[in-house]
Structures are given as structure tokens and as C-alpha cells.
Amino acid sequence: MRTPIVGGNWKMHTTRAEALALLVALRDGLADLGGVEVAVFPPAPWLGDASNILEGSNVAVGVQNVYWEPRGAFTGEQSAAMLVGAARHVLVGHSERRHVFGETDADVSRKLRSILDAGLHPVLAVGELQEERDAGATMDVLRRQLDGALTGLDELPTTLVVAYEPVWAIGTGRTATPEAAQEACAAVRSMVAERFEAAAASGLRVQYGGSVTPQNIEVLAAQPDIDGALVGGASLNAEAFIAICRALAAAKRI
């Protein structure tokens, strides 16, 4: 059985006051919830606040980005090693990093390695553009992004989570159908099984991300290869995010 995992990617949103209120609401609102792992990814300036407020709670802290070098003359960047103690999870390969900031598969691979080397838990995002889906290239894109990120690894890291996030569904209100999301998440698992061992891949947690809301989470969570959600917009609303976490815990309860 795979424990479901939900991530809340706040992107570059929230004032400090909004962040503090959201952190407290999530800590308190999720205090009684078991059977699901929850992480929030606030903007870097609020990481200290997040660590303090969420310490000992059911909600882990994640970061949205790292650079692969451990230290050096890299103005504006932060290394994975610097985040040890402040965060547990790190997003890597998010479509906004790939398509707004031009990160390549090779960059994603270097970042993933540095996250693993630091002992942090990577959430690797993969997903196709609308034109790639229209051209029937979704599976090729997923394979290229997975192969690119996982190159050089002898074993599947047990801490790795993969988030399937079709780019056309992110922040658009256009969620993938449960069938399309299931197909892609199952494909991610079988591509990982081909690369490593089937047994390891069967333990891999694969999230769906792309306009997840309390209204659509139930049908998505009912899919056998969807083990959680990576949530952007709805993670900025405590009530909505808590509802998503509760729906996932309920759907995956044995």
C-alpha cells in the first residue's frame, strides 16, 4: 500500500501575514488527519516561519527550487545542502521552471541528484504541453523527462515522488479527465519499472497535478495509479486544501 501524499505549491504568492495565517490554519485543520502525507511549498522567505509553525505537526515543509552546486558564486540561488533542517521536500522539474525559466532535462537531473545527495525528498514534476498532447506525443515527453531526470541512478530512490502535471492543466481550470490522468500516471509507473525494478516502481508514489480542487479530487483519487495531488491555486485556500487532503486520505484508506 502506498501512503498518499499531497503537496501545496504556493508559487510566488502570499504576503507574510497571509502565509502565517495559512500555515496556522493548515497546522490546526490537519492535526487530526492520518493516512496521508501533506507538504507545503511556501516562497523561500517564509521557510523559517513555516518550519517554526509546522514543527511537530502533520504538515511537512518543502521548497520550490534549488541549485545543484553546494555553494559558491551563484547569486540568488540556494543549495539543497542549505535547506537541510529547514525543509524535507523539494520540487524539481516543475513546468514553470522548465517553460518560464528554461530549465532543461539535464538541469533537472543535476538538481535531482543534489536533492538526493543532501538527503532531501524530491518531487519530480513531468508533463506535456498542449501541442505535445495534440500531436500524440504525451508518452514520448514523459519518457524523455523521466529518463533525463533519472539518468545515472542505479536504484529508484525510495524518497522520490513523481508528479504528473500536464502543462495545459496547470492554473487553467482545465483538469485532465480521471481516465487521462490515470493513463499517464500508470505510464509513469511502468516507465520507472522498465528502468529500475517492478517491485520498486510499485512502491513509487505518483501524484496528479493540474487544477485540482475539492470538487474534482474524489474522481481523481479513485484512480488506482494516482497516489496524491500536487496542488497550486487551491493550496492557497486553507479550507480547499484541507478538503483535498481529507478526500485523498478517505479514498485511499484500506
Report, as residue numbers or ranges, the catalytic residues: 94, 165
32 SS3 class: coil
Closest approach of ligand PEP to the CB of residue 10, in Å: 9
Provide, rounded to whole angstroms, the least separation between the CB of residue 232 and ligand PEP.
2
Rg of the chain over Cα atoms, rounded to whole angstroms, equals 17
Cβ–Cβ < 8 Å for 133, 93: no
Q: Is 132 in the site for ligand PEP (CB under 6 A)?
A: no
Instruction: Report if residue 62 touches ligand PEP, rule: CB under 6 A.
Output: no
Tell me whether residue 206 or residue 231 sits nearer to ligand PEP (CB atom). Answer: 231
Contacting ligand PEP (CB under 6 A), which of 22, 126, 161, 170? 170
Query: Dihedrals φ, ψ of 137, to 5°?
Result: -105, 10
**Of positions 38, 80, 230, 242, contacts ligand PEP by CB under 6 A:** 230
What SS3 class is residue 144? helix
Instruction: Report yes or no: 51 and 88 within 8 Å, Cβ to Cβ.
Output: no
**Closest CB 42 distance from ligand PEP, rounded Å:** 13
Angle, CA of 30, 34 and 35, to the nearest 5°:
130
CB 252 within 8 A of CB 221: yes
Chain CA centroid to CA 232, Å: 10
- Give the residue, chosen from 39, 232, 240, 244, that forms a contact with ligand PEP under the rule CB under 6 A: 232
| Angle (CA) 33 217 205, round 5° | 70
Stretch 186-225: interaction string toward ligand PEP, x if CB under 6 A:
-----------------------xxxx-------------
- Closest approach, Cβ 226 to ligand PEP, in A, equals 13
Binding interface with ligand PEP (CB under 6 A):
9, 165, 170-171, 209-212, 230-234
